[in-house]
């Protein structure tokens, strides 16, 4: 082969190799660039997924909160709100000025201007609810977070507590004052007029018994409200019979007919002591509010998986408008008659707590002047 040809061939091969090397390097660079782009894309996707997860987590947290949350922008536009806030306000707030109560608007403005949290309480929504809110500044741009809570039930319970304390104080004060007055009279009469001592001693005893009953009922009510062990299998027919035997004399003295119809029924799981309280208070209530010549009928039967206790009387009855309140503590339809008969105003409240603690229900039917019927349904014990 000619030297020139050999040289030419070597140069061609060298050129081809150089071109191949350049192309390979270019391909490597391209591949590297593609790899970098792929990694960047994967990182971006991961960041987006993370943001989505954060957003989803925040949404789940906000939707599960009992507190209402509203984030207000400096422009007074609502950036976000959760379901609790929308339930409490009765609407989905879009702007502060249109959907939020005036008190909340003012609290948000004060918080943004002053840079400190502002508390407020307001009645809002339909039906009416009480809401307590805190307006908290969350950034320097004037954004404010409103955190609100429904305090309707808390206010109701506080009112019940206040009424209970006031009523209990009044109920305890009355017999205590009578006992004091009777004691002072007896002391004075011991020298001046001994003949009046028996009469005032009887009054003192009567008021002491009344005071003792109120204290006893308050203790029973307190115990029932904190719960009790319900681990006995109780034969309710035996409990009813024993309690009615206790009332035979009182019914006879009041000129009443007391009857019982006790069928064989399954046992009830619960507390024999508390179920005795239930029967005692229902029958006592019926006797106290039935005039001479009337009757009180107590029956017990089984219906399916329930034991049904019925206490019916032919007494004075209860006005329809009063029925929703008869289980309230110290509530009396006729205060004058209740004081005359010696009732404490706690019997039906105690009965209701016993029924609820045993997983039962109570229904009351009454007609003014024609009597009242209490029907209690308790679940039978599972054998």
In tens, the pLDDT along 260-284 reads: 898 888 888 989 999 999 999 999 9
The total of other beta-carbon atoms located within 10 Å of residue 255's CB is: 11
- Mean local confidence (pLDDT), 362-372: 91
Q: Please spell the DSSP secondary structure of 293-333, one letter per residue.
A: T-EEEEEEEEETTEEEEEEEE-SS---GGGGGGTTSTT--S
Report which secondary-structure segment, H or E, holds 63. Answer: helix 3-64
Instruction: Give yes or no for residue 329 having a pLDDT over 90.
Output: no
Contact 327, 278 (CB under 8 A): no
Coil, strand, or helix at residue 371? strand
> For residues 41 and 236, which has the higher predicted lDDT (pLDDT)?
236
Under CATH, domain 65-150 is a member of which superfamily?
PAS domain (3.30.450.20)
Asked if residue 80 has pLDDT above 60, the reply is yes
CATH class of 154-226: mainly alpha
pLDDT digits (tens, 9 = 90+) for 208-241: 888 888 888 888 888 887 776 677 888 899 999 9
Number of alpha carbons in the 13 Å side-chain half-sphere of residue 312:
14
pLDDT, position 7: 41
pLDDT in tens, 145-200: 888 888 888 877 777 777 767 777 777 777 788 888 888 888 887 777 788 788 88
Question: Which residues have CB under 8 Å from 349's CB, separation 6+?
Answer: 221, 327, 328, 329, 331
Which pLDDT score, from 0 to 100, does residue 33 have? 46
Per-chain mean pLDDT for the chain: 78
Better-scored residue on pLDDT, 142 or 315: 315
pTM summary value: 0.59
pLDDT at residue 48 is higher than 60: no
Which pLDDT band, with edges at 50, 70 and 90, does 203 fall under? confident
pLDDT tens figures, 15-30: 555 555 555 555 555 5
Residue 302 vs residues 230, 262, 353, 379, 380: alpha-carbon distances, Å: 20, 10, 22, 10, 9
pLDDT at 335 over 60: no
Give the Cα separation of 248 and 146 in Å (integer): 64
Give the integer Cα–Cα distance in Å for 138 and 140: 7
pLDDT at 379: 92
DSSP 378: E
DSSP 8-state assignment for residue 382 = P
In angstroms, rounded to a whole number, what is the distance separating the alpha carbons of residues 14 and 297?
122
Dig out the tokens for 267 from the structure: 């046992």
- Asked whether the predicted pLDDT for residue 373 surpasses 90, the reply is yes
Local confidence band at 6 (pLDDT 50, 70, 90 cut-offs) = very low
Percent over 70 (pLDDT), the chain: 77
Distance, in Å, from the CA atom of 119 to the CA atom of 110, rounded to the nearest integer, reads 10
| 229-383 placed in CATH 3.30.565.10 | yes
């Amino acid at each position: 082969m000619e030297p020139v040809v050999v040289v030419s061939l070597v140069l061609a091969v060298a050129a081809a190799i150089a071109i191949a090397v350049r192309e390979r390097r270019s391909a490597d660079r391209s591949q590297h660039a593609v790899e970098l782009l792929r990694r960047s894309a994967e990182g971006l996707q991961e960041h987006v997924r993370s943001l989505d997860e954060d957003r989803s987590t925040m949404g789940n947290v906000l939707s599960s909160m009992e507190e209402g949350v509203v984030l207000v922008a400096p422009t007074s536009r609502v950036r976000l709100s959760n379901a609790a806030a929308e339930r409490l306000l009765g609407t989905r707030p879009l702007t502060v000025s249109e959907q939020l109560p005036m008190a909340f608007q003012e609290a948000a403005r004060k918080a943004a201007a002053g840079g400190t949290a502002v508390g407020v309480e307001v009645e809002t929504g339909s039906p009416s609810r009480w809401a307590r809110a805190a307006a908290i500044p969350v950034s320097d741009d004037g954004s404010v977070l409103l955190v609100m809570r429904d305090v309707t039930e808390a206010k109701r319970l506080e009112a019940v507590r206040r009424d209970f304390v006031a009523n209990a104080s009044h109920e305890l004060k009355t017999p205590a004052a009578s006992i004091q007055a009777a004691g002072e009279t007896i002391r004075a009469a011991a020298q001046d007029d001994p003949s009046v001592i028996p009469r005032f001693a009887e009054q003192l005893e009567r008021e002491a018994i009344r005071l003792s009953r109120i204290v006893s009922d308050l203790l029973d009510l307190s115990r029932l409200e904190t719960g009790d062990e319900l681990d006995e299998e109780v034969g309710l027919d035996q409990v009813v019979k024993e309690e009615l035997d206790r009332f035979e004399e009182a019914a006879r003295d009041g000129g009443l007919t007391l009857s019982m119809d006790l069928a064989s029924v399954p046992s009830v799981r619960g507390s024999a002591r508390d179920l005795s309280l239930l029967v005692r208070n229902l029958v006592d209530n019926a006797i106290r509010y039935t005039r001479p010549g009337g009757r009180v009928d107590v029956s017990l039967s089984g219906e399916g998986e329930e034991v049904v206790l019925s206490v019916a009387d032919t007494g004075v009855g209860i006005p329809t408008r009063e029925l929703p309140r008869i289980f309230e503590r110290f509530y009396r339809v006729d205060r004058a008659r209740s004081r005359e008969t010696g009732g404490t105003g706690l019997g039906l409240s105690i009965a209701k707590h016993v029924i609820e603690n045993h997983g039962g229900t109570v229904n009351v039917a009454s007609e003014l002047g024609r009597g009242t019927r209490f029907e209690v349904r308790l679940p039978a014990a599972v054998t």
